[in-house]
Amino acid sequence: MNPIILWILGFGTLWAGLKLFDDEVLLIVSMFIGSAFVIAGLLTSPLKIQLGVEAILLVSVFSICMECIRRGDRP
């Protein structure tokens, strides 16, 4: 399968998880599924592309963790 298709599925799942789910369990599950798609795309891509996408994924996972922390601080 083309790595671009896997990345679209992965980053789309990451985006949809943040925008559609309020429950933390569904958010975490969608993040794992999205990350799995992105990793599958990384496995089939050249090394130069792997490094760039991996940096983007690290930033997105960090922002997701911060979003979960912010959601946990609700009154």
Q: Which pLDDT tens digit goes with each residue over 8-64?
A: 999 999 898 888 888 888 888 998 999 899 888 888 888 888 788 778 878 888 887
Residue 75 is predicted with a pLDDT of 56
Q: Kindly tell me if the per-residue pLDDT of 7 is higher than 60.
A: yes
- Domain span including residue 46: 3-72
User: pTM of the predicted model, to two decimals?
Assistant: 0.63
Cα–Cα distance between 35 and 31 in angstroms, integer?
6
Q: Kindly tell me if the per-residue pLDDT of 67 is higher than 90.
A: no
Number of domains in the chain: 1
DSSP state of 22: -
Cα–Cα distance between 12 and 16 in angstroms, integer?
6
